[in-house]
A and B are shown apart, each in its own frame.
Chain A
Amino acid sequence: MKSYLLLLTGACLLGAAPTQGKMLTTISTYTTQADGSALLVSLENIAKNANKRLVYDKEILIGKKAASYDKNHSLPRMLEELLRGTGIAYQIKGDIILLHASTENPAPKVETRSQSQQQAVLRGIVRDELTRQPVSEATIAVVAKNRSIKAGVDGNFKLDLPAAESWIIRVSFMGYKTKDITVSRSSLSQKLEIDLAQDLFGLDEVVITGQGLDINKRRLSTNIASIGGDELAKVPATRFDQLLQSKLPNAQIRLTGGQSGATSIIRARGVVSAFMNSTPVIYVDGVRMDNLNTASAIGGGSAQGAGVSALADIPIDNIERVEYVNGGAATTLYGSDAANGVIQIFTKKGGADRTSVSAEATLGAERATTDFLHFQRTKELLFEPGLFQRYNVAVNGNSGKVGYSVTGAYLNSSGVQLFKQNQNKRFDLRTGFKAELHEKVSYESSFSFVNNSFKRTRNGNQGGYTGLWYAESGASAVTGPTPRFNPRIDDLSEEEFEKMKMFVHTAERLQDNEIVVNRFQTGQTFQYKPVHNINIKAVGGIDYRVVRNQTIQTNEYLTHTTGNLTTDRGSINNGERKFWGLTLELNGQHRAEIGDFSAVTTVGGQLFRNEDKQVAYNGTNVRDGARTIREAIATSSDNFVDEVVNYGVYAQTNLGWKNKLFLDLGLRGDGNSAFGKDIGVQYYPKVGFSYIPSSESWWSDNLPFLPSAKLRGNYGVAGNFPPAFLNLRTVSFAGYLGSQAAMFGMPGVDLRPEKTTTFEAGLDLGFWKDRITLSAGLYHAVTNDALFSVPAAPSTGEALALRNVGTILNRGLEFSTQIVAIQKENTSLRFNLAVNTLYNKVLSSNGAAPFNLAGFSERTIQTVVQEGYPIGFIRGAYGEFGEDGVLESTTPLQNLGTTIPDLFGSMGVNFQWKSLNLFANADYQQGAYANNWDSQFRYNYGAGDEGIPEGEINSEFKRTRWLQFTNMFVEKTDYIKIRTIGASYTLPQQMIRSFAKSMVVSGTVMNPFNFATSSFDPEATISGSAQGQGRATTGGISYATYSAPRQYLISVKMSF
């Protein structure tokens, strides 16, 4: 692998060599605004007509425009008219017209010192072409240089220009067509008015993900979703994945529980792996983040019955843009970990010329989502109203060559569980800087620190008392105070219910579980543009995340919940996980144009080094009140280490013809430390095309209502590496009565990465001035050598081991559309809708036995991977009842339904009237099933009949056959969930006067409405219970899991 880096070094050095070859290279074709005719031309005309000769210093004429003059006037009058305002004076000496700089009439408002070396400043304003509203935060950049600035809240900007006579200024903002403007020194005198046209089709939007460096979407064979920071800022989400919920057209994001730090399920193109979690790889400013979305190997929140997601504490402030690719060829450049797609977050690193300070306060009420509670009284037993508050201050600015962006935020959500047992406090600090170190070198840096601490009540499958299990699953019939309660709690008398409430409230109050996350992240980027068509970027960064998870069980709690007097079982369990991830990346891009042909070539190398170190330190027989294990009579500890280095080199080229037909070729070679030489270099190729038929004249002649169209298709490979050293752990060590004992470890198996090969094709169309855009695509992805947890035959004496034995198919259609129903100066109305289909199946397991992803034992309920079925289907006993309502037959291990929806998507509406903005968004799924384990327990405990025929209940078997007809407890989980409904109003300037520059008041309701076919929350399906750290899960079992609460929030944002 080292040789690759040396190769890369060579490539860099070659790149540094001068490129004045014979090839004519230009940056691209600029859409230049017409200049006024040059002054010199007019002067020469006048001199010629007057038969005189011009004598002048060239310098004073450069960039000057001619004013209008009347040809019928006299020579002196014509010259006076022509030279008015140019700062040039004249003298007529014989047949010579002598031109010189005027002393008394310098060019007004141009802050130049009259020579090209002098400081030049461009002032201007950026506005929406149609609405005339300022486009704040639009980026105004000097092309081929490293200098840029953002427009302020009022759209105004001031940009210091590097020394030159003229400049090409590029103005861009997401959702608008990028505009290039040539500005000459003479025109600096006037304020530049830039009107940006909305870009509904996005063909020339510049993206980075999947390409290493900037490229136009036009050239790409894949669909890259990008979301602007202003769109994200509308939603007062508390975590990053919640922020993206129903925003990504071709991905589904489901939080698997309503408690703070809950894991989520993110998936797009199905489930490509039965081994690795479907969470995409996440980058912040080019630096790879910890994306663990399951419980960790030890102590990672498993004590609370569900994992702690690393996505919950990714910084969410000051995001400029998010890009997402959901798989296929675009992920090839991310190699061995990218089969689930890539999310890139870019943060702000600078603002307008004048420092702007904005402050935002969000306050509101939190209420438990009771839609899915079985018993009416559960709400009273377990929930209380909560309060949400969040404060955020951001300072953005740009001082000459340095841009800066600093933000701090504090969040406090008291949660809706009793005694603030799910309170979440979070403190965020982020800084972003960019600087022009040299006219060819720029530097960007970002730092962020997050401190997040939250409480958690017990949930899910923890054994012993858990609030929801006790109330909703009917466990009050079998545990807690004696005599036991009637588990049908709505039928309890007031007196009995009061007793139960006292028991439950004490049990809830006595729980003491806390999770604290400290996360530090930094990204450092250098960009070097040695010549205008070469761009070299070096990125280095770190994500350091420390999670501490503490569970304290007091004797008082144990005595109270078990009913047995306990005096010596108090315990403190701590789990700590430290993740340290290093990212290093170096790449270079070369752009070339030869006649009708263009080529964008990128070569780069990446290195990721991840160190995951975990410890558990536990104390037992702890006196109530002690909070450290120093006070424990007995202590124990555990330790887990995982170090892995993944490195790769990639090269890709995007060839274009006439800016309408493009061919995309790429190859990545990956090495990984996990198995040393055994694994060798892994290659990931890609090839794709993109064609813009709307550029053809025959298209525009015949299809005028279809101004934009793009046809695309590609083939690409991405992969997943197995865990480090897994196949070398052939001996394991354990204790035997205090002595060392050696036993069989993992069997030595030849392992290699699983690889997902995707073919995709798509068509993007814009109808009626792009008022309706439609993107349609289909993909067919096959994962070969899929890593399956193959249970060994008992006679081998071996443990279950990962083996490359599976083949998994995912295929589907992806549609997304945006409709601009109204687009007027003061009013706009937009709708967006995404529809995705999905077909998932394990094509082959090479004869390996089925294995489970989650669930309990074979005889109860599991989500299983088995040849011929979708990944993670629900497997349990299928029972049929006779006419008398008594169970007639039962067949174990049956497919009771898939947990993967075959249809999913999102939708949204956005209405703008002057300064008022109303919006709502939702997402939905169809075709998936889940087991209602709470209901099955209710039946077992007699807390409900749950639709089971009376014949069975009254039979001699009573309720003992509760596991023999699990099919009766499996429900469809189709749903539409409205995630956000909100309104924001920008106060008119006259109302706020000089108090602030702008003031926005908004109100949002989070999770307002749920429509579901299931009687339980179709999202809350304990996904944290994957079979190990980072392993695959599909949810599918609803069991004692809290739903996300409703929030009613009001916020005020002021900019100064």
Chain B
Amino acid sequence: MKLSFNPLYLLASASILLSSCELFEVENPYVTEDRFIDGQQSLPTWLNGVRRQTSLTVGTVVEFTELVSDNYFNNYTQSSKVFDNPEINHFDRDVTNIQANIQKLLEMSEFGLTKFTFSDSPADQQIRAELLFSKAYAHILGAELYVGLPTTVLGEVKSPVELRTLAIALLNEAATLYSTAADKDACTLLIARCHYGLGNMTEATNFANQIVATPLLLRQVKYGTQNGPSNNFQSAIFSNTTNWFAPLPRLDFLDPKYFHQTSNIFDDEKPIAIAKAEEAYLILAEAQAVQNNLTAVKQTLKDLLSNTVSKRPVTQLNDKTDTRNGGNRTDYPITAVQVKFDAQSPAMSGFVLDRANGTIPAYSVSGTHITNTEIDAIQTQDEALYLIYLLRQEIFIAEGRRMTDLGIRFPVSEREQLNNRNVSEQHIKAIIPDFIPKNRGLDDFTYDRANATVTMAYDMNKVLVQHKASPYVMPFIK
């Protein structure tokens, strides 16, 4: 075979071809920030992102704080293995993760408020209001769950008092921008909650009283659709084939709060409440109890049951497959047994359900076993406070509120400390009041099969009342 050309020229021309061809061209498959902000509908799209983050943040908070509290324990190895103890360290990834979720919500709201241009149109102003509301809610979560948190990138650590004060200002601004009464009421309720946390009894009572007029007020974060956000807590207590979280047996009747009744889980993922009218009644009742006005307490609590709780949805749910299977406790009662709130308490029925025996009532917003009978039986301030905190526990179960009521606070995470010189030694220690039992005591119970009775190791509401003077609980008592 003869070649009639010099192959080197062939190679040379090949490399010329190479230098001009598209082999070097690569397309960035991702949207850049500049392109996004300047693009169409960027502000509403960002708001959706903030809403998604709110759902994710609330979901994370609920998953972990319910474990820390006496509401739920981890019966499996997924999720935190130490929060049940409770053991909370600043280096714990979950502590970091919760903080990061709260601060991401804060920063995303802030990004929306500062990087986008708002017109005077009502639509834009509503978006602005919602961004302010989200930012305020991030502050509230920080105040209620942490010893303190920075509110700017690597900024100073603000105390819970400062965080609540900032939240109130943001909510006030949001309330003026919101156009609907429901939105304004949601702001009002959260302001009441902030004042409650601050121990400002007068202000808390005033704002809470405004909500009583709208007893079905409910603000929830939403979950669902294939691409989420999804309600992880619903997976943990119902939707997953293995339910890895189990409630304290005396709260068994309130589980599951979130459940699906469709073949696709994501078609039915229950929302989680972040503000509901029940809280206004509970704030009022607590203020009245602290003022020793037991008559008013009884009336407020009865109103709470009749105007609000009884009007919340109840679903008859088939929960026959829940075997409470898991690794940590294999002695969870799954038939209707008697329950003793602690060793000294009387045995009562109706708390642990026999799920195999037909459907059970499921309360996706609020449920409680308390009736007017128990309310009428209140004779002392302590009894009133006990009942109020029991109601708070039952009504707010699976909403991430119990850890705060127990006086437990997360520390600022190690990752923040390593990067942020404003974080001091005092910020990296969790607050776990001395009266909190260690070694999984919060969730502990004994099951006497012979007498079909399950006994809680501790009645934490009793413990709370005993320690009502503690600076970490019952903010109206100072």
A interface, CB within 8 angstroms of B: 1-3, 5-6, 8-9, 12-13, 15-16, 401, 437-438, 440-441, 463-464, 475, 477-479, 482, 484, 526, 528, 530, 536, 538, 558, 562-566, 568-569, 582, 584, 586, 605, 607, 609, 620-621, 633-634, 636, 641, 643-645, 647, 673-674, 724-725, 728-731, 733-745, 748, 791-797, 847-849, 857-860, 892-893, 940-941, 956-957, 960, 963
Contact check, B20 vs A2: say whether CB atoms are below 8 A apart: yes
Interface string of B1-25 (1 = CB under 8 A from A): 1110011110110111011100111
Does B467 sit at the interface, judged by CB under 8 A? no
Contact check, A563 vs B106: say whether CB atoms are below 8 A apart: no
Contact check, A12 vs B24: say whether CB atoms are below 8 A apart: no
Please, which residues of chain B bring their CB within 8 A of the CB of A645? 23-26
Interface string of B83-98 (1 = CB under 8 A from A): 0010001011110100
Please, which residues of chain A bring their CB within 8 A of the CB of B373? none
Q: In the complex, what's the smallest C-beta–C-beta distance from B367 to chain A, in angstroms?
A: 24
Please, which residues of chain B bring their CB within 8 A of the CB of A12? 8, 11-12, 15
Contact check, B31 vs A438: say whether CB atoms are below 8 A apart: no
Please, which residues of chain B bring their CB within 8 A of the CB of A735? 52, 225-228
Interface string of B459-478 (1 = CB under 8 A from A): 00000000000000000000
Tell me the B198-212 residues at the A interface (CB within 8 Å).
none
Contact check, A741 vs B7: say whether CB atoms are below 8 A apart: no
The interface-forming segment of B183-191, B309-317, B383-391, B415-423 is B415-423
Partner of B24, one of A437, A647, A791, A792: A647
B interface, CB within 8 angstroms of A: 1-3, 6-9, 11-12, 14-16, 18-20, 23-33, 36, 42, 45-46, 48-49, 51-53, 55, 78, 80-82, 85, 89, 91-94, 96, 99-100, 102-104, 106-108, 111, 149-155, 222, 224-229, 241-242, 263-264, 266, 321, 323, 325-327, 330, 413-416, 418-420, 439-440
- Bound state CA distance, A728 and B34, in angstroms? 10
- Bound state CA distance, A434 and B413, in angstroms? 64
Contact check, B263 vs A794: say whether CB atoms are below 8 A apart: no
CB-based nearest A residue for B227: A735
Q: With contacts A563-B325, A643-B27, A736-B229 known, is A438 near B94, CB below 8 A?
A: no
Q: In the complex, what's the smallest C-beta–C-beta distance from A237 to chain B, in angstroms?
A: 36
Q: With contacts A564-B241, A735-B227, A796-B154 known, is A744 near B104, CB below 8 A?
A: yes
Please, which residues of chain A bring their CB within 8 A of the CB of B227? 734-735, 738
Partner of B42, one of A482, A609, A673, A742: A742
CB-based nearest A residue for B8: A16
- Bound state CA distance, A438 and B1, in angstroms? 6
Contact check, A858 vs B6: say whether CB atoms are below 8 A apart: no
- Bound state CA distance, A714 and B117, in angstroms? 59
Q: In the complex, what's the smallest C-beta–C-beta distance from A38 to chain B, in angstroms?
A: 34
- Bound state CA distance, A563 and B242, in angstroms? 9
- Bound state CA distance, A562 and B323, in angstroms? 10
Contact check, B108 vs A849: say whether CB atoms are below 8 A apart: no
16 contacts between A and B (CB under 8 A): A5-B15, A9-B16, A9-B19, A564-B242, A636-B226, A645-B26, A647-B24, A742-B36, A791-B96, A792-B415, A793-B416, A794-B96, A797-B100, A797-B104, A797-B108, A893-B91
Q: In the complex, what's the smallest C-beta–C-beta distance from B359 to chain A, in angstroms?
A: 16
Q: With contacts A736-B48, A742-B49 known, is A9 near B263, CB below 8 A?
A: no
Q: With contacts A644-B26, A941-B327 known, is A536 near B18, CB below 8 A?
A: no
- Bound state CA distance, A356 and B259, in angstroms? 71
Partner of B264, one of A437, A620, A941: A620
Q: In the complex, what's the smallest C-beta–C-beta distance from A637 to chain B, in angstroms?
A: 10
Contact check, B103 vs A797: say whether CB atoms are below 8 A apart: yes
Contact check, A438 vs B2: say whether CB atoms are below 8 A apart: yes
CB-based nearest B residue for A643: B26
Q: In the complex, what's the smallest C-beta–C-beta distance from A675 to chain B, in angstroms?
A: 10
Q: In the complex, what's the smallest C-beta–C-beta distance from B98 to chain A, in angstroms?
A: 9
Please, which residues of chain A bring their CB within 8 A of the CB of B414? 849
- Bound state CA distance, A963 and B77, in angstroms? 12
Please, which residues of chain B bring their CB within 8 A of the CB of A6? 15-16, 19
Contact check, A530 vs B8: say whether CB atoms are below 8 A apart: yes
Please, which residues of chain B bring their CB within 8 A of the CB of A647? 24
Q: In the complex, what's the smallest C-beta–C-beta distance from A679 to chain B, in angstroms?
A: 13
Q: In the complex, what's the smallest C-beta–C-beta distance from A1012 to chain B, in angstroms?
A: 27
Contact check, A741 vs B108: say whether CB atoms are below 8 A apart: no
Contact check, B264 vs A793: say whether CB atoms are below 8 A apart: no
Interface centre among B29, B82, B415 (most CB of A within 10 A): B415
Interface centre among A643, A742, A793, A956 (most CB of B within 10 A): A742
Please, which residues of chain A bring their CB within 8 A of the CB of B415? 791-794, 849
Q: With contacts A538-B14, A744-B108 known, is A438 near B33, CB below 8 A?
A: no
Partner of A526, one of B7, B49, B224: B7
> Could you list 12 further interchain pairs (A-B, Cβ under 8 angstroms) beyond the known A484-B330, A963-B82?
A6-B15, A9-B12, A564-B325, A569-B241, A586-B11, A730-B33, A731-B30, A739-B45, A741-B45, A741-B48, A742-B48, A748-B33
Contact check, A536 vs B263: say whether CB atoms are below 8 A apart: no
Partner of A558, one of B29, B99, B241: B241
CB-based nearest B residue for A559: B241
Q: In the complex, what's the smallest C-beta–C-beta distance from B443 to chain A, in angstroms?
A: 12
Contact check, B321 vs A564: say whether CB atoms are below 8 A apart: yes
Q: With contacts A562-B241, A643-B27 known, is A634 near B264, CB below 8 A?
A: yes
Please, which residues of chain A bring their CB within 8 A of the CB of B326? 478
Partner of B52, one of A1, A565, A734, A963: A734
Contact check, A437 vs B28: say whether CB atoms are below 8 A apart: no
- Bound state CA distance, A441 and B3, in angstroms? 9
- Bound state CA distance, A960 and B91, in angstroms? 20
Please, which residues of chain A bring their CB within 8 A of the CB of B102? 794
Q: In the complex, what's the smallest C-beta–C-beta distance from A405 to chain B, in angstroms?
A: 21
Contact check, A562 vs B325: say whether CB atoms are below 8 A apart: yes
Contact check, A8 vs B241: say whether CB atoms are below 8 A apart: no
- Bound state CA distance, A464 and B244, in angstroms? 11
Please, which residues of chain A bring their CB within 8 A of the CB of B439? 956-957, 960
- Bound state CA distance, A605 and B15, in angstroms? 9
Q: In the complex, what's the smallest C-beta–C-beta distance from A416 to chain B, in angstroms?
A: 28
Please, which residues of chain A bring their CB within 8 A of the CB of B225? 735, 737-738
Q: In the complex, what's the smallest C-beta–C-beta distance from A904 to chain B, in angstroms?
A: 32
Q: In the complex, what's the smallest C-beta–C-beta distance from B52 to chain A, in angstroms?
A: 4
CB-based nearest A residue for B267: A634
Q: In the complex, what's the smallest C-beta–C-beta distance from B264 to chain A, in angstroms?
A: 5
CB-based nearest A residue for B83: A859
Please, which residues of chain B bring their CB within 8 A of the CB of A963? 81-82
Contact check, B325 vs A736: say whether CB atoms are below 8 A apart: no
Partner of B80, one of A741, A859, A957: A859
Q: In the complex, what's the smallest C-beta–C-beta distance from A158 to chain B, in angstroms?
A: 21
- Bound state CA distance, A259 and B53, in angstroms? 40
Contact check, B3 vs A437: say whether CB atoms are below 8 A apart: yes
Contact check, B15 vs A728: say whether CB atoms are below 8 A apart: no
CB-based nearest B residue for A568: B263
Q: In the complex, what's the smallest C-beta–C-beta distance from A938 to chain B, in angstroms?
A: 13
Interface centre among A634, A647, A733, A743 (most CB of B within 10 A): A743
CB-based nearest B residue for A569: B241
- Bound state CA distance, A16 and B8, in angstroms? 6
Partner of B416, one of A644, A795, A941, A956: A795
Q: With contacts A438-B7, A733-B31 known, is A482 near B14, CB below 8 A?
A: no
Please, which residues of chain A bring their CB within 8 A of the CB of B228? 734-735
Please, which residues of chain A bring their CB within 8 A of the CB of B266? 634
Contact check, B330 vs A478: say whether CB atoms are below 8 A apart: yes
- Bound state CA distance, A828 and B291, in angstroms? 101
Contact check, A794 vs B7: say whether CB atoms are below 8 A apart: no
Please, which residues of chain A bring their CB within 8 A of the CB of B321? 564-566
Please, which residues of chain A bring their CB within 8 A of the CB of B53? 743
Contact check, B7 vs A441: say whether CB atoms are below 8 A apart: yes
CB-based nearest B residue for A745: B30
Contact check, A734 vs B327: say whether CB atoms are below 8 A apart: no
Partner of A793, one of B19, B224, B418: B418
